[in-house]
Amino acid sequence: MTEFAKRGKNRIKRLPKRGHYDRETIYRILDEALICHVGFVEKGQPHVIPINFARVEDSIVLHGARASRLLKHIEEGHPVCVEVTIVDGLVLARSVFNHSVNYRSVVLFGKGRPVEDEQEKLLALKAITEHLIPDRWQGVRPPNRKELNATGVVSIKIDEASAKVRMGPPVDDQDDYALPVWAGVLPLREQTLSPIRDDLLSEDIPLPEYIAQYSR
């Protein structure tokens, strides 16, 4: 299937024209975003946890300490909601009411499972590392036995998902277009700055090309 079915949970109700259900759009946003927010309910109390992640085919993988409340909840098979947002610009209208934000967002729903198989676990950890910065996994020490035992990994199958995207200029009331007020879009983007060497790094270790040329 190239699209997720429109159901009660993932159907865009507010401004449905901004909704997207195709996997290409949804997965492209997931692959660009660095951080997701995972929502879950435990004993009647809602929680939202920010965490880094990676997409592996039709699933989201997360890692953390084995004692993590979030991971334990997911391991038990409870439903969760995962959200990511990328902000592309501030939309400055002629009226306060019509100010907005250009953005790309995804909300997905699913249930998770623990990743126990060692090979699958390593592949998930590699995916999370490579999601942060491609080519990093092959240049660093892999997890040792103690680290693997201390790390929990879960996989959340994406059962339902939708994207919502806002692009373009402000939309003002017709009468406001005559106002002497600057209007337009202030673009925003994540920007890498010059890498900062660890003070304990040997001077003979060069900066890898994949760090020097890093961008999202």
pLDDT in tens, 138-192: 999 999 999 999 999 999 999 999 999 999 999 999 999 999 999 999 999 999 9
Q: What is the pLDDT of residue 61?
A: 98
CATH assignment at residue 164: 2.30.110.10
Q: Is residue 8 included in any domain, yes or no?
A: no
- Residue 24 CA, distance from chain mean position: 15
- SS3 for 32-87 is HCCEEEEEEEECCEEEEEEEECEEECCEEEEEEECCCHHHHHHHCCCEEEEEEEEE
The token pair that represents 205 in the structure block: 């270790």
Q: What is the pLDDT of residue 8?
A: 87
The pLDDT confidence band at residue 117, using thresholds 50, 70 and 90, is very high
Average pLDDT for 54-78: 95
Q: Is residue 50 included in any domain, yes or no?
A: yes
pTM of the complete model:
0.93
Q: Is residue 135 included in any domain, yes or no?
A: yes
Q: Is the dihedral of CA 108, 31, 121, 129 positive or negative?
A: negative
- Residue from 35, 27, 57, 29 nearest 127 by CA: 57
Q: What is the pLDDT of residue 1?
A: 76
Q: What is the pLDDT of residue 163?
A: 98
Q: Is residue 207 included in any domain, yes or no?
A: no
- Domain total in the chain: 1
Q: Is residue 33 included in any domain, yes or no?
A: yes
Q: What is the pLDDT of residue 216?
A: 83
What residue numbers bound the domain in which 32 lies?
Answer: 16-190
User: Residue 97 carries which side chain, given as an amino acid letter?
Assistant: F
Q: Is residue 88 included in any domain, yes or no?
A: yes
